[in-house]
Amino acid sequence: MFARLTGLVGRDLLRDTIAYSVGIAVAGASFGALATAQGLQWWTTMAVSVLVYAGTAQFAALGVAASGGGPLAVVATGLVLNLRHVPYGLSVGHLYWDRWWTRLLGTQNLLDTTTAFALAEGDDLRRAKIAYWTTGAGNAIAWIAGNLAGIAAGRQIASPEAFGLDAALPAIILALVLPALRDRSTLLACAVGAAIALATSPFLTGGLPVLLALAGLAFAWPPKEPEEAQR
């Protein structure tokens, strides 16, 4: 069965998924431990992780709640952070828009990394779908298993910063985005966008600066024909 899985998914993607999932498991464990330390019942923690299923927003919402923020602040913080999923869904939404259950699972599976993995496959629709689902499955299993381990371990787990995990996740996304940056227009749009996001970050609530980055697209306008623009 493992050989068949390797055959379908491909050795490289499987290896990348495993490497990435290990990082997610550690992040999941730290979320489970942190939530437990802040008095959340295990089933509430798991409900957040399964139903919201967005690591960054979960950590942020937990942080706001811990610092005495009201319900409105908790929900708003999480939702604003998640707004970046709108452009993600616009760019990869067709990959899972088949049956009702693939739509449901695919929608919940929309993440920074699953989007980046799918986009990294370029024009190959079949490979993009495989990447989206494979990395998504790895993420789901690792996140849930990590959560449970973190809840069980409670306060004993160190912060993810001690493992340098906060560097691993941006590095993964950077690695996946790099090939697209060979296109000069995309590179220019990304550079301007990143500069806008960095400049506005000190003044805006988390989640908005990365959306303002979209203004960088204006510097790559009008978009070239796809034959020239891809890869």
Partner 1 sequence: MSWLEVAALAVGTFLIRLSGPFLRGRVEVTDRVETILRRSATVVLAALVATSAVLVDGAWAGWALPAGVLVGGVLAWRKAPLALVVVAAAGTTALLRLAGVA
For 159: left if phi > 0, alpha if psi spans -120 to 50, otherwise beta; the answer is beta
Does position 152 interact with partner 1 (CB under 8 A)? The reply is no
Whole-number Å distance between alpha carbons of 50 and 73: 21
Q: Which of 31, 88, 133, 143 binds partner 1 (CB under 8 A)?
A: 88
Rounded CA-CA distance 60/78 in Å is: 6
Instruction: Write down the least CB distance from residue 150 to partner 1, Å.
Output: 16
Residue of 196, 204, 228, 214 lying closest to 77 (CA atoms): 204
Give the Cα separation of 13 and 10 in Å (integer).
6
**Per CB under 8 A, does 89 bind partner 1?**
yes
> Whose Cβ is closer to partner 1: residue 2's or residue 203's?
203
Q: Does 148 bind partner 1 (CB under 8 A)?
A: no
DSSP 50: I
| Residue 214 neighbours by CB under 8 Å, 6+ apart | 87, 193
Residue 19 lies near partner 1 (rule: CB under 8 A): yes
Interacting residue with partner 1 among 34, 65, 105, 137 (CB under 8 A): 65
Among the listed residues 10, 42, 87, 137, the single contact to partner 1 using CB under 8 A: 87
Q: Is 10 in the site for partner 1 (CB under 8 A)?
A: no
Residue 129 binding partner 1, by CB under 8 A: no
| Of 151 and 176, CB closest to partner 1 | 176
C-alpha distances in Å from residue 61, one per residue of 21, 68, 84, 151, 197: 23, 11, 16, 18, 21
Shortest Cβ distance from residue 89 to partner 1 (Å)?
2
Q: Which is nearer to partner 1, 145 or 163 (CB)?
A: 163
Distance CA 58, CA 100 (A): 27
Which residues within the stretch 174-203 sit at the binding site for partner 1 (CB under 8 A)? Answer: 174-178, 180-181, 185-186, 189-190, 193-194, 196-198, 201-203
Site string for partner 1, 21-60 (x = CB under 8 A): -xx----------------x---x--xx--xxxx--x---
- Is residue 18 at the binding interface for partner 1, with CB under 8 A as the rule? yes
Does residue 125 contact residue 150 with C-beta atoms inside 8 Å? no
Size of the chain in residues: 231
Residue choice 9, 25, 119, 130 for contact with partner 1 (CB under 8 A): 119
Angle between helical axes of 11-37 and 112-119 (0-180°, round to 10):
170
Which of these segments, 1-9, 80-88, 136-144, 145-153, binds partner 1 (CB under 8 A)? 80-88
